[in-house]
Amino acid sequence: MPQYKLYYFNLRGWAEPARQLFKLAHVEFEDVRIENGTPEWGALKPKTPFGQLPFLSVDGFEIPQSAAILRYLAKKFGYAGKTSEEEAWVDAIVDQFKDFVTPLRQLIMAQRSGNAEEIERIQKEVFAPARDTFFKILNGILEKSKSGFLVGDGVTWADLVIADILTTMEMLGVFDKHGEEQKLAALREKVNEIPEIKEHNSSRPDSVV
Amino acid sequence: MPQYKLYYFNLRGWAEPARQLFKLAHVEFEDVRIENGTPEWGALKPKTPFGQLPFLSVDGFEIPQSAAILRYLAKKFGYAGKTSEEEAWVDAIVDQFKDFVTPLRQLIMAQRSGNAEEIERIQKEVFAPARDTFFKILNGILEKSKSGFLVGDGVTWADLVIADILTTMEMLGVFDKHGEEQKLAALREKVNEIPEIKEHNSSRPDSVV
């Protein structure tokens, strides 16, 4: 096994599904957590491949961008889909998630601003329509799923990405697991009940994102 | 060979690199072009996998999301990178491109609004910093490249995506091929001089995006 080092901030954020993939596959890795705004990050930033985190080091070979890291690990460990067509659907779901991140980020920025009027405007005009579109797509996929997972008959990195974003949304107050989104809540529970994930999640540092 | 049908609007947009991949690989496909705002699109939209274009039909099996389509075809046709590590770098470059699309789209929306003050504000505050970051990353990659392509020793779908976005940016007046971006201009020329690409580009319908 190569020596893996995953560099990210001390957050779940863009790196959490990668940490979970290592746990699922029982592969050792160094979980390097860097505090944002510190001299340590200032010194590291210009040495990273794209000037940003996360990046993954595989025996010193560096891979930037979270989805690229996740796909690389998922393929190595067997969580990328079992056929080319399953891989394409996993990729498509994650791309759809990436499209959803822009409005989600706008909501997070509005919430951080503390401006109640702006929060309401972004929530109503930007975030809610994007969430409805995204959830409709995911629900449509889950309605047809026989396994309860998003693609094929087992867990893939798309499930990890979606389960994690639902947790972020719950923490931000925009996902109600007891509400209408039963199928999505069930998917998250299914992911989080996998023993390796359950153990990992129960021992990780708390963070909203 | 399966029967491929690529469904997209009558634009280059998110589908052009997929059309180019078919041409590169000398694989037949049906280039289904739908006019936005027509009853035809209204009727098709609810039947698409994610309610949007492009999607690819492979003997009736449908794949949504442009990057998922491109990666699927590139893997089939041999333009996805030659190793897992090359594939990861191709993916990372395309993810970085996707991050750049949000500010680019903001600029396009501002230009369409025709509001000169707003165009200048978006250009200066949003678009220019994002372009500088993106171009710095691409230039850094090209400086280390021995082939002149972004990854490895031959053309990959990342080169097609970047060459096409440079053409869009040039048409929008925000890429000067005679200016400072010589390395990027050279990459685009290298891609567009590939005989199959050259022939395809010379016969395709004109469009700004």
- Which of A48, A78, A108 finishes a domain? A78
CB A1 within 8 A of CB A174: no
**pLDDT tens by residue, A143-187:** 999 999 999 999 999 999 999 999 999 999 999 888 788 999 999
Residues B117 and B173 in one domain: yes
Full residue range of the structural domain in which residue B15 is found: 4-78
Backbone angles phi, psi at B66, to 5 degrees: -60, -45
Residues of B in contact with A47 (CB under 8 A): none
Q: Residue A204 domain-assigned?
A: no
Tell if the CB–CB gap between A68 and B95 is shorter than 8 Å. yes
CB B70 within 8 A of CB A50: no
Residues B145 and B168 in one domain: yes
Residues A13 and A109 in one domain: no
- Which of A50, A78, A106 finishes a domain? A78
Return the H-helix or E-strand segment holding A109.
Answer: helix A84-113
CATH number at residue B117: 1.20.1050.10
**pLDDT tens by residue, B85-98:** 999 999 999 999 99
Scanning every residue of chain B, which has its alpha carbon at the shortest distance from the alpha carbon of A76?
B84
Residues A122 and A166 in one domain: yes
ipTM exceeding 0.85, yes/no: yes
Tell if the CB–CB gap between A58 and B85 is shorter than 8 Å. yes
**How many folded domains does chain A comprise?**
2
- Which of B30, B50, B78 finishes a domain? B78
Residues A124 and A103 in one domain: yes
pLDDT at A46: 96
Q: Residue A53 domain-assigned?
A: yes
Residues B67 and B93 in one domain: no
d(CA B159, CA B150): 6
Residues A97 and A190 in one domain: yes
Return the H-helix or E-strand segment holding A107.
Answer: helix A84-113
For residue A129, is pLDDT > 90?
A: yes
CATH number at residue A41: 3.40.30.10
